[in-house]
Chains A and B, each alone.
Chain A
Amino acid sequence: MTSGQLESLYDAHAQNVFAFLLHLTRCEHLTRDLMQEVFLRLARRPRLLVLKPRPYLLRLAHHAWIDHVRRDVVRARTLEQSFSSLDANCFPPPSRDAEQAELSTLLINGLAALPAEQRAVVHLKIWENLTFRQIGVTLDIPTHTAASRYRYALDKLRSAIRPSLENERA
């Protein structure tokens, strides 16, 4: 693989890999390290690149994250706890529309409270538009597990925003 090919892959897919990793790690420094790892792996073994690079890169990113968690369980747990409130790292500031902004904040908080496995599924479903089968392949889990994680995640998000909506109606 030439440096030009590597650069065009970066231009085409780095934003998606970045967003996925940021949702998993919720730490910008760690995301940068893992992105570096993903592109290093790609550069070392370009023959592994398949016809559709994006699912493959997301899969590589997920593997890099799992490797990191296995390597440094304590640090990963600390990070998970430290970002359990409003996840300002992953999203830009909400819009100026007060109602929309409040809902966005609630959803972001709800996402932050989800376990990493569910966050990964939600990210791939909502922002990558993958099917549950593709999500299963990307995360190395059965299709029905991906679907059930997504369902649990949505239930939790609905619970997270329900009090606010009830207050509004009252």
Chain B
Amino acid sequence: MNAPEVEQHLTMLATRRLPESWKRGILLASEAARPRALFVPRFVERAAWSAIAAAWLAIAALRTTTPFIAPPSGPPMSTRDVAAHWNQIRLYAVAEFVPVDESATPAHIHIEQELIIHIRPRS
């Protein structure tokens, strides 16, 4: 038997039928795997992440430029000491952290607020 005859006999062999029962299971599983979210192009995704990173860097930079009052050296002051020396503490802090020519600016107010919140004892 030559090759074309073998081919012809092969074509006469019917392949098995696909079981009907598989369809539902396979389609259900495929349906579950189908992406449902809105498609976002890669360049849009990259731009969004860049914007988030830039915003985060800007916030971090702003935070580092806010006035920072270092904790005092030496033994901690008692509540009573703070109350007794409150005016001196306030004057020292404002003089130390606010430039002379901006003594009445918001920075001045900010320093005083920080002192009141963090240092001044509650009456």
Contact = CB atoms under 8 A, between A and B. Distances in A.
Interface of A: 1, 3, 6-7, 10, 14-15, 18-19, 22-23, 32, 35-36, 39-40, 42-44, 46, 89-92, 100, 103-104, 107-108, 111, 122, 126-127, 154, 157-158, 161-162, 165
Nearest to A160: B6
Nearest to A127: B15
Interface in B13-38: 13-18, 22-23, 25-27, 29-31, 33-35
A25 B11 CA distance: 20
Of the candidates B2, B3, B10, B11, the one having the most CB atoms from chain A within 10 angstroms of its own CB is B10
6 contacts: A3-B34, A22-B15, A43-B31, A89-B16, A111-B10, A154-B6
B104 to A, nearest CB: 64
Contacts of B34: 1, 3, 6, 43-44, 46
B16 A90 contact: yes
Contacts of A161: 1, 6
Contacts of A104: 9, 12-13
Contacts of A32: 22, 26
A18 B30 contact: no
A104 B7 CA distance: 12
Interface string B33-68: 111000000000000000000000000000000000
B7 A154 contact: yes
B6 A157 contact: yes
A103 B22 contact: no
Contacts of A1: 34
B30 A39 contact: yes
B9 A107 contact: yes
A6 B35 CA distance: 13
A62 to B, nearest CB: 16
- Counting from the closest, the 6 A-B pairs by CB-CB distance are A43-B30, A19-B15, A18-B18, A39-B30, A43-B34, A15-B18
Contact of A10 (B9, B10, B14, B27): B27
Contacts of B3: 154, 158
Contacts of A18: 16, 18
B16 A92 contact: yes
